[in-house]
Chain A
Amino acid sequence: MNLRMNTRVLAPLLPVLFLGGIAIAAILGGWVTESSKVPKKLSEGEFAGEYDPGDIRGSYTFGEIEEIFAVPASVLAQAYGFTGRDDPAAIQAKALEEIYDAQPIERDIGTDSIRWFVALYTGLPYIPEEDTGLPASAVEILRERGSVDAAGWLDVERAAVEFGASVDGDAASAPATDEPPSAPAAATDAPQSAPEVETSSGTGTGTGSGNYTDDERLIKGRTTFGELLAWGVSQEQIEAVLGMPAGSRGTSMRDYFADAGVEFSLFKTGLQELVDAAR
C-alpha cells in the first residue's frame, strides 16, 4: 500500500512530533535543560554531610548559593563589586568571569573564586586553584567576619586583588577602587605581583567552547582528562603521576580530585610537566 504525504499534513505534523515529543519527555521528567543545582555533599571529615562549595557551578546564582550555603546574596554582591544591582540573587557565578577577564590582573576571579569565598565565609573546606584571586572587597568582608584562621589568612592575602577601575559596567562600584580602610597589606600593595602566579592570558574563561590553543595548555580545575589525552599525554603517564586510575575523558580535574578526596595542587605540577613535555 502506498501512503502519500504532502505539505498540508507535514506542516502541522512536524511541529507536533517535535513539540509533542518534548511535552511527553517533560511530563515523564526527562526534559532537563540545565545541570542539577544541588551540589554534592562532603563525604569525609569533620564536615561530612555538608554541601561541598567545590561543586558550585558557573550557572549557580547568588540566590541559589544563599539558599544552599547560607551566604547572603547581598554579601556575595558586595564582595564581587555588584553593589549597584537591584537583584543580586539573580547574578550567576559565571558572570564574574565575563567581567573580571577584562581587568589587567594576573589572577582568575571567576567561579572558583566564589567557591573559595563561600568556603572561607562558612568555614567549609576547599582548596582553590593556585591562580584564583579574591577581590579586596571580598577579603575585607572575610576579615570583618573573622571566619578565617591565621594560616588561611596567608593564602587569602596572597590572593587578594585590587583594581584601578570599575568592574561592573552597570553601576556597581569597583571592589577596592576606594581602598578598603583596613584591607590586608597584600591587597593594598601590588597584588599583581603575587608569587607563583601562572599567567593565564585569558585561558578557558568560560565563554565559548573551551577549545585550547598551544599557548593555553595550562592545567586547571576545569581541564578534563580528555584534554590531557588530546594534548599528547598518555593515560599511563597520567596514572603514573596520580598513582591511581585516571578519570573518564569528560571528567574535570576538580571533580576527579574532589571525588578522590585528595588535593589537586599536589598533582598539578606533575601533570603540567607531562603536558609541557608532550608539546
Chain B
Amino acid sequence: MKKLSGKKGVAWRARRRRRMVQAAFFVLVALISMNHFLAESGREIPILGSASLHAICPFGGVVSIIQFTTDGSFAQKTHESSWILMWIGFGVALLFGPAFCGWICPFGTFQEWVGKIGQRIMKKRYNRVVPAGVDRVLRYARYGVLAWVVYMTAVTGKLVFAEYDPYFTLFNLWTGEVAVVGYVILAVVVLLSLVVERPFCKYACPYGAVLGVFNLFRIFGIKRQASTCIDCGLCDKSCPMNINVSGVGVIRDHQCITCLECTSEVSCPVDDTVVFQAGKGGKS
C-alpha cells in the first residue's frame, strides 16, 4: 500500500487518530453495555466493567442537577459515576469545547459511520439537503429537548429521556428494555444520517446542547487567520456541522464539535491558517 506523504499524509493521519479514538470508545461502551446484560444472567465477562449505560453517561449527571441540588439524590438509574463524568465532560469542554461529541460520544461515531454510506449514495449533495433557513431554526431545537428533559426529570425523578434516547436504544437492542418509540427514533436517525451528517447531534441531542454552550468561552478555540486565508472554502465543506468557518475569525458556533476537520492539519490547504489554539489569534 502506498504511504501518503506531505500534506495529504498529515491529513490522513490526523483523521485516522480521531477515528481510532472514536472506535475505541464505541467498542468500550458496547462491551460494557453487553457485559451489563450478561451480568444480569450471571454470564459476566471478568475484568470488563458491567455498569449500566445510564451509569456511564455524563448526561445522567446533567439531568440530575436540579434533584441533586434540592435533595441530594440522583434521578433514578443514575449514580455518582454520571455525576463525575458530567464534571469531567464540563472540564474538557471548558478547555476544548464539545470534544466529547467529536471524539468520544459513541452515538456521534455511529452516525458518522452511517453517514459514510450516505456520502456514497448522495455524493456532493450529502449534508447539503436541508434548506439553510429551516436548518438554522432547527439547530436550536435541541435546546428545547434539553429543557424538556431537565424539567421532566426534575419533576418526576425518573430518566424520562431513556425511552426516547436513540443512544440508549442502540446499545440495548438485545436487552428487551427498549420501548417501541426508542426503536422508531433510532430508525429515523439512521435514515436521516444517510442524507445529513450527525442529524441527532445537530437537531436533538440535549447533551450536545449543553456542551455547545462552552464554545462561547472555551480556552482552546478554532481560529482562522484572514491574512493567510485563500478563501478556497474547504474549511466550510469539511465541517460536518455545516459551520461557516471561512466567514469568521474565531469559531464560537454552538454546534462546533471540535473534530478539527477544518484545520490546517486536516482540510485547510494553507499552513497555520485555521488552527486550534489558546490565546489570541483569529481575525476575520
Contact = CB atoms under 8 A, between A and B. Distances in A.
For B84, B158, B176, B177, which residue has the most chain A Cβ atoms within 10 angstroms? B158
Interface string B79-114: 111001101100110001001000110000000000
B158 A226 contact: yes
Given A8-B17, A14-B99, A32-B79, A226 B177 contact: no
- Which secondary structure characterizes the binding site on chain A? mixed
Nearest to B84: A25
Interface stretch (A42-50, A104-112, A192-200, A202-210): A202-210
A17 B95 CA distance: 11
B216 interface: no
B79 A249 contact: no
Contacts of B96: 5, 10, 14
Contact of A34 (B55, B84, B152, B281): B55
A10 B103 contact: yes
A164 interface: no
Nearest to A87: B42
Q: How large is the interface on B (under 10, 10 to 19, 20 to 34, 35 or more residues)?
A: 35 or more
Contacts of A95: 40-41
A249 B99 contact: no
B195 interface: no
Given A7-B265, A10-B96, A33-B55, A208 B179 contact: yes
Contacts, number: 168
A137 to B, nearest CB: 21
Contacts of B152: 230
B104 A18 contact: yes
Interface stretch (B135-143, B226-234, B243-251, B271-279): B271-279
B18 A7 contact: yes
Contacts of A30: 80, 84
Contact of B159 (A7, A209, A225, A229): A209
Contact of B160 (A2, A91, A211): A211
Contact of B277 (A4, A34, A209, A250): A4
B24 A15 contact: yes
Contacts of B275: 4
B56 A33 contact: yes
B161 interface: yes
Nearest to B182: A208
A17 B80 contact: no
B155 A230 contact: yes
Contacts of B155: 226-227, 229-230, 249
B119 interface: no
Interface string A245-278: 0001111100000000000000000000000000
Contacts of A252: 157
B160 A209 contact: yes
Interface string A100-136: 0000000000000000000000000000000000000
A32 B220 CA distance: 31
Contacts of A251: 71, 157
A87 B41 CA distance: 9
Interface in B39-57: 40-42, 49, 51-52, 55-56
* 3 tightest Cβ-Cβ pairs between the two chains A and B: A90-B42, A250-B157, A33-B51
26 contacts: A1-B279, A2-B277, A3-B279, A4-B276, A5-B277, A6-B260, A6-B276, A7-B13, A18-B104, A21-B91, A25-B81, A25-B84, A33-B81, A34-B52, A89-B42, A208-B162, A208-B182, A209-B158, A210-B160, A224-B156, A225-B157, A226-B155, A229-B155, A230-B152, A248-B67, A249-B70
